[in-house]
Structure 1
Amino acid sequence: MQKKLMATYILIISLTIIIAVLFSWNKGNQYFRDTVRKDTETKGQLLIDILTNEAENDSLDFQAFADRYSSKSEVRITLIDMEGIVVADSDEDYRIMDNHAFRNEVSRAIKGEIASKIRYSDTLGTYYLYTALPISIKGFQGVLRLSMPLIEIQNIAIDMIKYVVYGILIGAVIAVIIAYIVTKRFMEPLGQLTQAAIKISEGNYNDKIYIRSKDETGKLAEAFNDMSVKLSLNMWKLEKRNREFESVLSSMINGVVAVDEDYKVFLYNSKLNQILNIQEDIVGKSIYEVIRNTTIFNVLEKSIEQNEYIVDETIIKSNKKDKTVRVYANPIFAPKRASIKTMGTLLVIRDITQMKKLETMRSDFVSNVTHELNTPLTSIRGFVDTLKNGAIKDEKVAARFLDIIDIETERLSLLIQDILSLSAIENMEDEKNSSDNNIGEIINEVTEILNPKLENKDINIDIRVKKNVTYNCNRNRIKQLIINLMDNAIKYTEKGSVIISCDESEEDIIIEVTDTGIGIEEQHIPRLFERFYRVDKGRSRNMGGTGLGLSIVKHIVGLYKGKIEVESNIGVGTTFTIRLPK
């Protein structure tokens, strides 16, 4: 800014100098020319008087007169008759000179005027002032012309202009110095204001301007400081509100995206990226570039067209796993004072995959429970009806029917017990009744409980437990886990061995149950831990299984934040590996 002001000052001073020089040159030159012209006319009158006196004394010699008075008057003297013929000249041979009748000053003098003319002389190579005066004396009538070179006048004018220019330049230098001091003094507070404004634009609102001046600059600085304080406070409030808003958005379990009337995204949260598998920033992009789902588009467009709340469900295709989402669309209404009614549309996308899965599981669970309860109840009712109709009189038949009723009743009891146990585990967030327990002792207790099931099978139980492995847990819960795993291993193994081992690492307690049984086909492994899922439904039910054992195992492992893995080969056997974090 200071440079621009200085450049402006210098330009103004330069233009002033140029105008002054041109004006001085023009006026000075004109002044000297007028002065010389008047002086020449005066000299001409004097020479005419002298020439008149000489003519009266009969001593008239024009050439002698011209030669004699030319040097005295410092002018060139030319005498011309009324026909324009030169009769005498102080500088040239008048006899060879051209007729001067058509020279402007001569022709006007012939007519009786005193005339002057500045003209370039080709003969002498310079500008001359020609002054012609009419003359009428005894024995001669014509024109007396005086010529004077203007080179001296120009030199005088140039010298004068030099002095004028020198004076102006000295004044200009002084003016520039003063202008520099003034602009510097004026620009210093403006520079401080500029630097402070730059800092504010960069986010620094704490910088203050200290100017003692009481003029407009000081008032400006004071207003700027007040503005800085207010701006800092407003920015703090705005940032706080933005942080709160962003925290609310990021904390939402649903994906949120807001689009304007041109279907361009101006707001979204990170949950949307997770649900729709978006890996880029989508602000400013069209919703059609970001999401490729017809149902979402229909919900959005219908909400905009009808200006109302719309809900629908759709499936988002993905390379990893398809997701079921529920889409809510609602217009974003502008404030009452705004000129427009709506500012766009808000889409809320909720991932209901797990909910749908739970609904399916709940439905399947009810169906399976109904089926599992209905089968033994139907059997019991059928045998009871048979006994009522007379079979009770046959002791052998009645005893066999009663044994079957007892078996089915036990199955019902076990099923209800497993359902209650599974429900209790599912509703627990963590294990409350826990203490340090020796895992080896629990395994030995389970082995003793299951020994009766080995009587009719050629199976050997191999226990491989590291000594003094303790774990903080509910003893009965871990006991139930091991019973279910070993019971399954014994059921599906006709001969060979069931190996149960317990070891520990720095981070986990590792329990493994390995059998040499029939094995499990690979397609069944992902669903092993579902409720009532059986690989061989008929065989499992005949063995007295409820279909809930492995589901209970999985929930117990989940209760302790552990992991369970299954490896199986058909005809070779199956290994269940459980890792419980310490």
Structure 2
Amino acid sequence: MRKKRFEKNMTDLPWRFFKKIALAQALVTSLAIIATGFVATYYLRTYIIAQSKIQLAGSLKIIKESLSMTKLDPITWCNSLTFDPHNRYTLINRKGVALCDSFIDWKKLENLSHHPEVIQAFQNNYGESLRYSHTLSKKMLFGAQIIEHNNQKYIIRKAIPLEPIYKNIYKFDQSILTILLPLILITSLFILLKLLHAALPFRSIFKKIDVLKKLSPRDANNFVLGQNRDWKLVEETLDHAKEDLENYIHELYYENEKFNTLIESISDAILAINKQNKVLFINKRYREYFLEDFTLDSKSSNCSFYSITKNEKVKEILEKALESETSFTRENIKLPINKAGDGYFDLSITPLYDASKKMFGIVCIFHDVTSRRLNEKMREDFVANVSHEVKTPLTAMKGYVQYLKSKPALNDQDTLKSLEKIESNSNRLNILFQDILNLSMIESRPQIKKENIFTEEITNSVLSNVRQSYLNKNISVITKFEVESIQGNPLLVEQVLTNLIDNAYKYSKEPGHILISWENNLKNGCILKIEDDGIGIPSKDIPRLFERFYRVDTSRSRKLGGTGLGLAIVKHIVQKHGGKISVSSDEGIGTTFRAEFPSTQNNLPLS
């Protein structure tokens, strides 16, 4: 009876599945046991070496205490040592010169100051290292201990050969291997027996697979499984999985419809394209803004983006985004709008990635900033007009002050002092309104005219001008030029240099140092770096440093004549060149400004 049951179970067994899972389980178990053996061997080796290090350190400590108590001269002690193949002692002076060695003639030894155990001993009074000894041609464990005798420091170095330790470990490895092989065999047999029982319920799964594949009953790959041992639980699980999959597909369709509705309702224009320049998605707002054919649906995957994007600048930006595979933004791009003239847009581009983290396209968001642009233009015009109107009476005031100062009869001490205050504040107002005008003009320029600028020439020119205002300050300036020339607007780049160098002079301590360098950055172009060792900037003020009229210390800025617009002007000039500016500072130590100018073909490094 038992024989017939066994024969039926063996006939019903899904051998194809059983062989795979049995082989995998045996392999995993064997690897686990072998890995356990290797780990045990590794930790044993580590433990033995660690214990050897502890014993080595302890023996050197005992020698140090013994010499200290007996006040025995270390050289005399070392010379009295006899040859011991398991312990080598070397006495070393503070210069790393061997004074005695229990193994070989110490006069033949090289200077030992570069050995790691000696370096550690000089630093921490004790050092150790596990390394190959070229003198003895074997791997050794070295320990070095600082001792003092008659106000002189010596190092006693002890070395233990590792060959006996490794021999014992090798014997242990052999023992482990002897144990592991029978263990793997017994474990594999036990797993095979268990899998015989575990594999039987899988008949129903293979039946369903056979039905799905529509295999013939005579097919050699088909399993002939009985009907009396169906695994109902697995069958029900598969049925539930089928229902869950159908529900998931329905929910996915519903979520997709919601997503499409959301995208269509967004006020920004959205365009998605793949790496083959084919349109993946466009929303309603994009069609209204830029497409003459409004009937083009949101999923026009057969359409090339060249056919729906006429602006050459946008095409260039999108091509660059596909090539670089990075996110970036462009502001105030002027684009024609259908039946509405020109508009201004902020363009934001983000890469699209698939499940394997590989980029397959980009999504572009066109944010309409036409109204904001018009408001900015009105503000800029207003600021320019007001500044111009204010400068006229200021000029008249300065003229009258100079006239009154030229009349000796009217210039008593109090009157002269008042006139100088009027003139000083007039000059200050004039500088303030000039900075406001400069900032307004920089912001209003959609583009700047660039030409070749020689970095050394423009830097020396600005330095010469700025120094005239600080002739009484003891400041030394160092310049470095890795870049010969850049592409930019000479007047604006000169303004950047003037404002940053003037700040460095203004806030430097005496005697002080300023470093001005043009550094070559092969990835991002070139970097203008201005460093000083001045008073520094508190970390809480750095995020707002480039805001208009922001002052770190209001009283100090007024005393030194700042308007609060210099760094705002610098930021806008650098941004107009397509770059960015940053600052790092340690309060009381100094400040570093970094202005990055993007790479162009005309940025020439020094040869």
Tell me, yes or no, whether TM beats 0.5.
Answer: no
TM-score range relative to shorter protein:
0.3 to 0.5
Structure 1 length normalisation: TM-score? Answer: 0.35
TM-score by length of 2: 0.34
Structure number with greater Rg is 1
